Structure 1
Amino acid sequence: MEEVKKTVKNKKNVEEVIISKIRELIVSKHLEPGDRLPAERELAQKFGVTRNQLRQAIQKLEFYGLVKKYPQSGTRISNIGVTALNNMMSDILQLQKPDFKSLVETRIILETNAVRLAATRRTEEQIEEIQKAHKAYSEKAIKGLDAVEEDLMFHIKLAEASNNSVINSLMLIITPEIISHFIKNKVCNKEENYLLIQEHQEIVNAIRDKNPEKAVAHLQDHFKELHKYCED
């Protein structure tokens, strides 16, 4: 476990070094807004990192909108001004790992809105995907088996049905850690599993019926346990 923590920390440190070096190139005007980043191999050699490490750091910058990939044109620095780029990169480097309460509050906000949107925007194909994920979860949970991945997939499918790419991306980031926490700290019995299965199905039914109010109400019932973590 200690070795894993060290690996994660080292990975974060390398990302921070790469982002800092890219920031230095921008501040020193070796790179300017709108410029294309040098070739991956060249930049990795210049920074003394692997291409995979460089790629992960650039993906992080892309997520925050500081660089953008263009087909047949490579990755370019966003055209938002040197001062803004410098300040935003500083903010990224200072980001702290969010506490569990903050993650839970954010998930409740995101998924409530995702479910509300899903109930009005979902396609027939998306309803089928949600139901398929629910079935996969139910089959394992009803037997008392570990169904973490299936539970995660169910909630991800709900987010996808919102047809809002930002909500979906954010849910992909925060949901796995929250679900993992519950699995480590709580083992549901069969009675609780039956209740969770029923709650999932009620959410699915409301989305299928295109009833946003009911979908949100059933989700709030499903989140009773989560709400405890948000109480002072």
Structure 2
Amino acid sequence: MNLDLLSKNENQETTNRVNKLIGQISDLISEKHLKPGDKLPAERVLAEKFGVSRRSVRVAILKLESYGILKSIPQSGTFVANIGAIAMNGMIEDILSLGSPNFKSLVETRILLELKAVSLAAVRRTKDDLKRIEDALNAHKSKLLLGEDAVQEDLLFHLAIAKASGNVTINQIMIGITPQIILDFKKYHTAYANLDELRIKEHAEIFEAIKNQNPQLAKSKMKIHFKLLYEYCGAM
């Protein structure tokens, strides 16, 4: 079997298992009439009740925490967040209806976030931010000129820009989605390896715009850098 297909099937099985648990936890909250601030049974108890591993329970709880539905307090346990039953049920229904993010949806999200991030970085960047971006820029260039793989350095360049934006939320989301996008894009677009000189030039132009604190130019240069991503998403 194709390894990509196998991995995709495994990911889908994991998602289905976690979503089933989320539904069961939601039903438990309703059945026990748990209110905001009430404590859930321990992970061990939930694992035994639902016939799953504690790790699976933990993954489901972490997912609900990430949406603000549950709140875990070290040494105390997991509690229902203060958002109200109607909002909580609606959010859980939406979570369960979500599919796994595909490459195109991740790319579209990255484009939206990074165009904003680079504009903010040009306005807010500090000397430390500028050095971090420049270090990543030079490391990326050095590896490409040696004919070596520079995916990690490419990633660090873009994450340094996200950090320089001063927006913690943008930075967190970029950390979560950028690595897989860069790896997948290189895998699906074999011509990527033939664009080394262009990537070096575009990174340098983005850096100069940020250095000169020109948000409009920085955004424009990032759009040019995203040309292949735009074409993939049909946005141009």
Do they fold alike, i.e. is TM over 0.5?
A: yes
Which of 153, 163, 167 aligns to 1:164? It is: 167
Give a deviation string over 1:170-224, Cα, whole Å, max 9, x none: 2233323322222112235776211111211221222222221221111111111
1:12 aligns with 2:3: no
AA aligned to 1:226 is L
Give a deviation string over 1:93-123, Cα, whole Å, max 9, x none: 1102345443322221110001111112222
Gaps of 5+ in 1: none
Aligned to 1:215: 218
Distance in 2, matches of 1:188 and 1:156, equals 23
Q: What TM-score, normalized to structure 1? A: 0.88
Percent identity over the alignment? 48
* 8 Å contact kept, 2:186–2:192: no
* 8 Å contact kept, 2:106–2:177: yes
1:66-215 equivalences in 2 (<5 Å) = 66-70=69-73, 73-188=76-191, 192-215=195-218
Give a deviation string over 1:133-163, Cα, whole Å, max 9, x none: 2222222222232222221222122112112
1:39 aligns with 2:42: yes
Gaps of 5+ in 2: none
Q: How many residues align?
A: 232
RMSD: 2.3
CA 1:15–1:191: 2 relative to 1, 3 Å: closer
Q: What TM-score, normalized to structure 2? A: 0.87
Distance in 1, matches of 2:15 and 2:202, equals 38
Give a deviation string over 1:10-53, Cα, whole Å, max 9, x none: 22122112211111012213532222333333333333222322
